[in-house]
A and B are shown apart, each in its own frame.
Chain A
């Protein structure tokens, strides 16, 4: 086995862009916005990530996936640390990733709410990711993972998931 090549910060980011989110594999952990910092020191690298939700059960798997992806690239010592500030927001998901979510059948997150008082009755429109209709109904604030809600499209009769805006 040849000696590892390791690499610089840009190589690490490139490697992380190939680590899929385990719950939403169509986007990478970088596109999801949870990779906050990368620090390279020779063959050692420290990756700082932030959880989407305090109790996100996928965090450990994500850590393992990051370590595996970087070890393959020759980094002998990979450390993953977790930070909680600033708090993750769906605003960090860029336009390309939003389009990937939509094509995958998940309505991308709308703009995060401001800190003002929560309205008593909320009626926001979530367009259907399949047909684009705005005639959709919220079925459940919570879905198969902490980051998603469930809607139903009254036009194409499809249930679909929404990436919750926080």
Chain B
């Protein structure tokens, strides 16, 4: 199903009213695999921003599940703080995505009123939180990616995105230091902690490929200097991950078959359950304000 439901796909019969600048996509052909060859339309950018925002929203929600359940008080606070930063970043990115899309959806509508198939996050971030070792291993893998991503986006030609990224970059560097410290402690710790965190990396590895997949949307926004082509980040990410795992006496898992599909709305069975809980209040009380 291509990219799901591109927001600018005209309703049947409404095509004549569509602004001429918007590509008609292939809606009339009955299948939707848009090619963004004539430059970045707002919809490619909106799609790109949704991917950025959804990664952080979903991961933030998984971290928030530790609130009140952290292994020690300091980590309970740490995971909630990191979650808060991710929610803040997600709110800014989804707000911008909604404005770019131009259909009147704000960040709350995008967060709370979409179903799983409309989410564009990688599957890595939606996996259940597991034990503390699993949560930290996932966080480290994502932080290392996100730090590189934001460093590039801080130089985006899109002023607002560059502003969000330069701010978020400072926050993510702090997160990366925290998760790096824990990988060193757990990997180079007791036999129990070493085994658990190694097992976490082994289980997580096949979900890391999706972080660096790129498609027409990524390439289009990268060509315009707005976004970053994720595939270009992989060598630096790999260098960083290998260095930390080696220092932590951990083994880098072998690359095998990689999970894929989140960017196109294909998710694990876990996302729907997570969203059901996350969205329940907003859906039970439509339009409610704090």
A interface, CB within 8 angstroms of B: 51, 53-57, 83-89, 113, 115, 117-118, 120-122, 139-144, 146, 150, 164, 166
User: Is B251's beta carbon under 8 Å from chain A?
Assistant: no
* A141 and B163 contact, Cβ closer than 8 Å, known pairs A53-B85, A54-B89, A55-B84: no
* CB-CB nearest in chain A for B88: A55
* CB-CB nearest in chain B for A117: B240
Chain A neighbourhood of B151, CB < 8 A: 115
Please tell me the size bucket of the interface on B. 35 or more
Decide: A85 and B178 in contact? CB cutoff 8 A.
no
Residue B174 contacts which of A57, A88, A139, A164 (CB distance < 8 angstroms)? A164
The dominant DSSP class at the B interface is helix
Chain B neighbourhood of A166, CB < 8 A: 170-171, 173-174
Number of A-B contacts (CB under 8 A): 89
A-B contact pairs, 29 of them (CB 8 A): A53-B85, A53-B171, A54-B89, A54-B92, A54-B164, A55-B84, A55-B85, A55-B86, A55-B87, A55-B88, A55-B91, A83-B163, A85-B162, A85-B163, A87-B167, A88-B167, A113-B173, A115-B151, A118-B173, A120-B180, A122-B177, A140-B78, A141-B174, A141-B177, A146-B81, A146-B85, A164-B174, A166-B171, A166-B174
Separation of A164 and B81 alpha carbons in the complex (Å): 13
Min C-beta distance of B167 to chain A, whole Å: 4
The dominant DSSP class at the A interface is loop
Q: Could you mark each residue 155-170 of chain B with 1 if its beta carbon is under 8 Å from any beta carbon of chain A, else 0?
A: 0000110111011111
Q: Which of A88, A89, A122, A140 has the most CB of B within 10 A?
A: A140
Min C-beta distance of A27 to chain B, whole Å: 20
Decide: A54 and B85 in contact? CB cutoff 8 A.
yes
User: Is B149's beta carbon under 8 Å from chain A?
Assistant: no
Separation of A55 and B168 alpha carbons in the complex (Å): 10
Separation of A89 and B171 alpha carbons in the complex (Å): 11
Min C-beta distance of A142 to chain B, whole Å: 4
Chain A neighbourhood of B162, CB < 8 A: 85
Min C-beta distance of A126 to chain B, whole Å: 14
Task: Please provide the 10 A-B residue pairs with the shortest distance between their CB atoms, ordered closest to farther.
Answer: A55-B88, A54-B88, A140-B74, A85-B163, A84-B163, A87-B167, A142-B78, A142-B81, A55-B84, A166-B170
B interface, CB within 8 angstroms of A: 74-75, 77-78, 80-82, 84-89, 91-92, 147, 151, 159-160, 162-164, 166-171, 173-174, 176-178, 180-181, 184, 240, 243-244, 247
Decide: B167 and A54 in contact? CB cutoff 8 A.
yes
Chain B neighbourhood of A150, CB < 8 A: 74
Chain B neighbourhood of A83, CB < 8 A: 163
Q: Which of B163, B174, B178 has the most CB of A within 10 A?
A: B174
Min C-beta distance of A91 to chain B, whole Å: 11
Chain B neighbourhood of A141, CB < 8 A: 78, 174, 177-178, 181
Chain A neighbourhood of B178, CB < 8 A: 141-142
Min C-beta distance of B99 to chain A, whole Å: 14
Separation of A122 and B181 alpha carbons in the complex (Å): 9
Chain A neighbourhood of B147, CB < 8 A: 118
* CB-CB nearest in chain B for A112: B170
Given contacts A53-B88, A54-B89, A140-B77, 14 further A-B pairs with CB under 8 A are A54-B168, A55-B89, A84-B160, A87-B163, A118-B177, A121-B247, A140-B74, A142-B74, A142-B82, A143-B77, A146-B84, A150-B74, A166-B170, A166-B173
Min C-beta distance of A79 to chain B, whole Å: 19
Separation of A57 and B85 alpha carbons in the complex (Å): 10
* CB-CB nearest in chain A for B143: A118
Chain A neighbourhood of B159, CB < 8 A: 85
